[in-house]
Structure 1
């Protein structure tokens, strides 16, 4: 699959350089271009199939790294850590670090949907992994730059009793201690926070205020609120 647009190929070469891959890496540029084409641009030629491949790629890359780094760990721990590493939130976070949104071809209407930004970036990131894998049918274009991110995140996750899923951790705590579920109160605050932190969530346990958080999406705001609340209850405040 070839790419004839010289300007586009130059852009994609810049991305490859950001990833730290050698200039002469055997990248199939047409596949990489497709990986960075949102369905809002073309219903037929877009990143969806490559995203499907990339979903498997990131899982095997994470699995290999965990197996190599923590040979003493139990399978259950592997699964718990990997589920966080391959989550949309983490993948979008890595994608943002590389400025992937600058290379993504997307319609203005889809781009303006800030609530869908996390899933959009995560999908495109998986598609890029799929394109790089299919360029060689190995992980030689993936692990050299992805490993450092996964390693750092895995270290953080192992130290975190909530495994960075604070909503689930808080729910388990409130059920164990009070047999109740926490409640989230959401409000849109774009006029205050702008597009960066569009939503604010408060978390309550009956009439007890536990914490507050903000985020680009409702889910992100609830996770931020749950993180504050979980830290509060675990410290005994």
Structure 2
């Protein structure tokens, strides 16, 4: 390690230890330092470019994990499940579990922005993933500790299919293939609060109603409609 400040060197080593990586891990420490530097500290040298790479890295890590652990799933199920695993909410939770806020260099004004904390934590985790990936050009410094978080979460989601995020999967597909976003039109059917078909949702794409779904809540109805549309479009 050849960083300017010994205290920073110690901080980064502590984080690597918390991740469970060996002291001899071939880490490019300057990249790791950059991955934990917010733009409010340096407008030119911060984690934004690494975050861009890390967005792809975390999706690759999640895809490898799902393929190895759940090889029986269809591609549509992979996509919906992965969209939850790599969401900002989950990534921020993982970052918080490892105490990333202790290592992230950020201005006091940004730190006081409570509303932006989730995105800061998620972004910094993606940047750290990029730094580790670029250190070896493999996932060997990532999978051992990231899988430990993915495993219980994936088990929970598969036990409750309603938690699979087909809305995110459908949005990703339509953006990639049709350069557009789905439009949801939801109405309440007037039944009791416990009625499983209380809400009906339609998903429209390019002026066409592609699917309908029902659910106890607006969110559930939209997810049901998104699932039908996504599986139809992706050929599942």
TM-score, scaled to structure 1: 0.71
SS where residue 45 of structure 2 aligns? coil
Contact 2:95 2:122 in 1 (8 A): yes
Distance of 2:187 and 2:67 partners within structure 1: 30
Q: Secondary structure at the match of 2:71?
A: coil
Task: Confirm or deny that 1:158 pairs with 2:146.
Answer: no
> Deviation per CA, 1:46-101, whole angstroms, max 9, x where unpaired?
00001011111100000001000111110000000000000000000000000001
Q: Residue 107 and residue 63 in structure 1: after superposition, are their counterparts in 2 closer, same or farther (change >3 A)?
A: same
Other structure's SS at 1:162 match: helix
Task: State how far apart, in whole Å, the 2-side matches of 1:165 and 1:77 are.
Answer: 9
Deviations 1:132-161 (CA, angstroms, capped at 9, x unpaired) = 001111111101111111111111111123
Residues 43-62 of structure 1: pairs in structure 2 closer than 5 A: 43-62=43-62
Q: 2-side partners of 1:173 and 1:79: how far apart?
A: 27
CA-based RMSD of the aligned residues comes to 2.9
Deviation per residue, 1:110-129 (Å, 9 max, x gap): 00000010001000000000
Which ranges of structure 2 fall in alignment gaps of 5 or more residues? 169-184, 190-196, 203-215, 221-236
User: In structure 2, what is the Cα distance between the partners aligned to 1:172 and 1:28?
Assistant: 50
Q: Distance in 2 between matches of 1:167 and 1:46?
A: 32
Partners in 2 of 1:173 and 1:84 — Cα distance? 26
Give runs of aligned pairs for residues 132-151 of structure 1, distance below 5 A. Answer: 132-151=132-151
By how many angstroms is 1:173 displaced?
9.4
Question: Residue 2 of structure 1 contacts residue 28 of structure 1 at CA under 8 Å; is this kept in 2?
Answer: no
| Structure 1: distance between partners of 2:187 and 2:61 | 33
In structure 2, the residue matched to 1:5 is 5
Matched residues in 2 for 1:93 and 1:165: separation?
Answer: 18
Does structure 2 retain, via aligned residues, the 8 Å contact 1:27–1:135? Answer: yes
Distance in 1 (CA, whole Å) between partners of 2:166 and 2:144 is 31
Note the C-alpha offset of 1:180: 7.5
1:129 equivalenced with 2:93 (yes/no): no
Alignment gaps of 5+ in structure 1: 182-209, 212-225, 228-237
Q: If the length of structure 2 is used for normalisation, what is the TM-score?
A: 0.71
